């Protein structure tokens, strides 16, 4: 994951990484401590790792941040700060942006590949042609140009986009998908942004230039983002680069 820092920095994004195995994880303040105290042990470690990752991502773009409380399941950032958080297999990652109010922000880490059978939970019939004919062929690093996408890659692209599209038009630059699908930051004032309802099948993904993809809301095609998905070992990391007006 650390090798991705230059790639994200070139896109104006800071990357933060934390693990549940770091020694002595401590809440950064009373609000984090209160939230963590009500969680099972495993979830508590993931929660604190996500907060550490978010603070590290913000520091990477020159912004300090103390404790990050929550509203429901959503992290609440102080004014001028926002990050998108994702967890997988004991690792938490976050991306943050230093400037650009209203710019979409979202990421997703998937270290456990999804089976081909999961495609029906992620895609509709008009997207199935994007799938690779092989069974989840993974190689670390950039994906081959012109190659088909795995179910895991398409899931990660949609999940990152879901978080970002939920915040598009709110001036916050972040948002969140359904509670079961990870976390993303709230707006500078801690106000919960409007979000799309439904499932990842309510987004449509299509190819774009340079191995990227464009993901848009089916119900509102004008709301679209460009997403890059990078292979990390046997998993993937997807992150939103910015808005897109390209047609799918």
For 61-74, write each residue's pLDDT tens digit.
999 999 999 888 88
Cα-atom radius of gyration of the chain, to the nearest Å?
17
What is the predicted pLDDT for the residue at 226? 96
Per-residue pLDDT tens digits for 164-174: 987 532 223 33
CB 71 within 8 A of CB 89: no
Q: What is the pTM of this model?
A: 0.84
Average pLDDT of the residues in 55-60: 96
Residue 151 pLDDT level (bands cut at 50, 70, 90):
very high
Q: Give yes or no for residue 136 having a pLDDT over 70.
A: no
Mean pLDDT of the chain: 82
Model pLDDT, residue 100: 63
Phi and psi torsions of 152, nearest 5° = -65, -40
* Owner of token pair 């509670």: 179
Kindly report the three-state secondary structure assignment for every residue of 14-66: EEEEEECCCCCCCCCCHHHHHHHHCCCHHHHHHHHHHHHHHHHHHHHCCCCCC
Q: What confidence tier does 135 reach under pLDDT thresholds 50, 70, 90?
A: low
Would the pLDDT of 140 be above 90? no
Closest CA to 134 of 155, 110, 112, 152: 152
The mean pLDDT of 224-233, rounded to a whole number, is 94
Torsion, Cα of 158, 214, 183, 12 (10° steps):
150
**Dihedral (CA of 78, 241, 202, 17) sign:** negative
Q: Is the pLDDT of residue 154 over 90?
A: yes
The predicted pLDDT at position 142 comes to: 55
138 exposure class (CB count in 10 Å sphere: 0-12, 13-18, 19+): middle
Mean pLDDT of 115-136: 86
User: What is the C-alpha separation between 192 and 172, in angstroms, rounded?
Assistant: 10
Share of the chain above pLDDT 70, in %: 78
Distances (CA, A) of 2 to 17, 232, 236: 8, 10, 14
Quote the CA–CA distance of 99 and 84 in Å, as a whole number. Answer: 15
């Amino acid at each position: 994951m650390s090798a991705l820092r230059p790639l994200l920095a070139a896109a104006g994004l800071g990357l933060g990484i934390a693990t549940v195995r770091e020694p002595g994880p401590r809440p950064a303040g009373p609000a984090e401590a209160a939230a963590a105290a009500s969680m099972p042990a495993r979830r508590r470690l993931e929660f604190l790792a996500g907060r550490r990752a978010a603070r590290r991502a913000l520091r990477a773009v020159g912004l300090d941040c103390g404790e990050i409380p929550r509203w429901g399941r959503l992290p609440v950032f102080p004014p001028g700060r926002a990050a998108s958080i994702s967890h997988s297999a004991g690792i938490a990652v976050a991306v943050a942006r230093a400037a650009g109010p209203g710019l979409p922000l979202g990421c997703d880490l998937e270290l456990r590949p999804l089976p081909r059978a999961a495609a029906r939970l992620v895609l509709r019939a008009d997207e199935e042609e994007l799938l690779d004919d092989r069974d989840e062929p993974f190689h670390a690093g950039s994906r081959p140009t012109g190659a088909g996408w795995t179910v895991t890659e398409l899931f990660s692209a949609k999940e990152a986009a879901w978080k970002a599209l939920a915040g598009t038009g709110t001036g916050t630059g972040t948002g969140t998908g359904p509670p079961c699908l990870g976390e993303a930051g709230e707006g500078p004032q801690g106000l919960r942004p409007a979000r799309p309802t439904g499932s990842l099948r309510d987004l449509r993904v299509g190819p774009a230039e340079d191995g990227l993809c464009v993901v848009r809301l089916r119900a509102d095609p004008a709301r679209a983002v460009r997403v890059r998905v990078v292979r990390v070992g046997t998993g993937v990391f997807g992150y939103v680069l910015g808005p897109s007006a390209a047609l799918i």
